[in-house]
Amino acid sequence: MFAVEAIKLAKTFQTRQGPVKAVRNVSFAVAPGEIFGILGPNGAGKSTTILMLTTLLRSTTGSAKILGLDVDKDDAAVRNKIGVALQETGIDEVLTGKELVQSTGRLWGLSQSKASERSAELLSLVGLTDAADRRVKTYSGGMKRRLDLALSLIHQPQILFLDEPTTGLDPGSRRVLWNEIIRLRNEGVTIILTTQYLEEADALADRIAIIDNGVVELEGTPDALKASIGGDVILFSFETKEIAKRAGDSITNSEVTGRELRTTVNNGPQSIPNLFSILQANNIEAVAVSSSRPTLDDVFLKVTGHKLEAVKVHENDDLGNHGGV
């Protein structure tokens, strides 16, 4: 059984200005224990997709299942199994972090003592122990995100949905959240996260869906997506131009520029020994060799026809408060 399954999800909002097709065709399946990344630019339909998957918004057409449960028909059961941290954090800033986590725990049905136990545990997990008794109003953007993560984990959900968990954060805060997300995955939590950042999808996700204009254009592991571009790029360097030229004569499908030779192969690491033996057979010695993969940038450009421009907002984040993770 899949942890999450989206089947031809679509959502059209009716507005005064006319219908807005926020999501047109989103299908994917996430296996238990995976980190699944939904990568797309601002306005691609990521948040709308998350809202539909988490029972908070009804799809116009299509359906979705969480652990086999239908998000429309079994919404209460689904909500018990999932944790959600939406893009808008929805935190009452007059309360302290501890008050918020404790009261949320009680609303999930924990006893007073269990709730304070769990609250202490979660706050330490996200590195907010020192700030626990401060009002959320005084928290930085990164701290609010981490508090939000703690809130979404209170009822120990099997599946976690994170909508742009690191957008607008500085690199330090982002790293803290990444570590926490990986730790959760290692504990067996299935994670669906959306992002505008190629590096983030690349670093975290086991599999990625590229979404643009409300449509999932391509889906697969980061490596498979890059491989779809047509293999790896192998780069040889030689002592002299002449040697490079001779190498070019012996290796088919290669390009020589100066003292360098470039060739595209299906699988770089596997091909390098072959290429070396060809050179050896011709008595040619290489100075250096490297194999590089196409980046997700290349993939995104190829499937959508445009580059992914992430919104680059960096809030001032208080790096001093990230201890404890």
Ligand X SMILES: Nc1ncnc2c1ncn2[C@@H]1O[C@H](COP(=O)(O)OP(=O)(O)O)[C@@H](O)[C@H]1O
Q: Footprint of ligand X on this chain (CB under 6 A)? A: 13, 15, 20, 22, 40, 42-48
Q: Residue 87 interacts with Mg ion (CB under 5 A)?
A: yes
Nearer of residues 174 and 226 to Mg ion, judged by Cβ: 174
Strands across the sheet containing 288-292: 254-257, 260-265, 232-237, 288-292
- Helices 97-107 & 112-125, crossing angle to 10 degrees? 130
To the nearest whole angstrom, how small is the minimum distance from the Cβ of residue 15 to ligand X?
5
The nearest distance, CB 232 to other proteins, in angstroms, is 42
Which lies closer to Mg ion via its Cβ, residue 87 or residue 295?
87
Query: What is d(CA 222, CA 220) in angstroms, rounded to the nearest whole number?
Result: 6
Q: Which is nearer to Mg ion, 46 or 146 (CB)?
A: 46
Residues that bind other proteins (CB under 8 A): 14, 54-58, 76, 79-80, 84, 86, 88-92, 94-95, 99, 103-104, 106-110, 114, 118, 135, 151, 155-156
Q: Which is nearer to Mg ion, 45 or 157 (CB)?
A: 45
Select 20 or 94, whichever has its Cβ closest to ligand X. Answer: 20
> 135 CB contacts (<8 Å, ≥6 apart)?
93, 94, 95, 96
For residue 167, the minimal CB distance to Mg ion (Å) is: 8
Interaction between residue 47 and Mg ion (CB under 5 A): yes
Helix spans in the chain (H): 46-53, 75-81, 97-107, 112-125, 141-153, 171-186, 198-204, 222-227, 241-250, 268-281, 296-304
CB-based contact 24:6 (threshold 8 Å): no
Question: Which of ligand X, Mg ion, other proteins, none is residue 80 near (CB under 5 to 8 Å by kind)?
Answer: other proteins
How far apart (Å, rounded) are the C-alpha atoms in residues 81 and 63? 18
Contact yes or no for 52/59 (Cβ under 8 A): yes
The answer to whether residues 200 and 38 touch, using CB atoms and an 8 Å cutoff, is: no
Distance of closest approach, residue 166 Cβ to other proteins, in angstroms: 18
User: Which residue, chain included where needed, has tokens 């790029």?
Assistant: 233
The entry of ligand X, Mg ion, other proteins, none that residue 43 binds, CB within 5 to 8 Å by partner kind: ligand X
CA–CA separation, 59 and 49 (whole Å): 9
CB of 177 to other proteins, least distance (A): 19
Shortest distance, CB of residue 58 to other proteins, whole angstroms? 4
Is residue 54 within the footprint of Mg ion (CB under 5 A)? no
Name which of 48 and 166 has its Cβ closer to ligand X: 48
In this structure, are residues 203 and 171 in contact, taking their beta carbons and an 8 Å threshold?
no
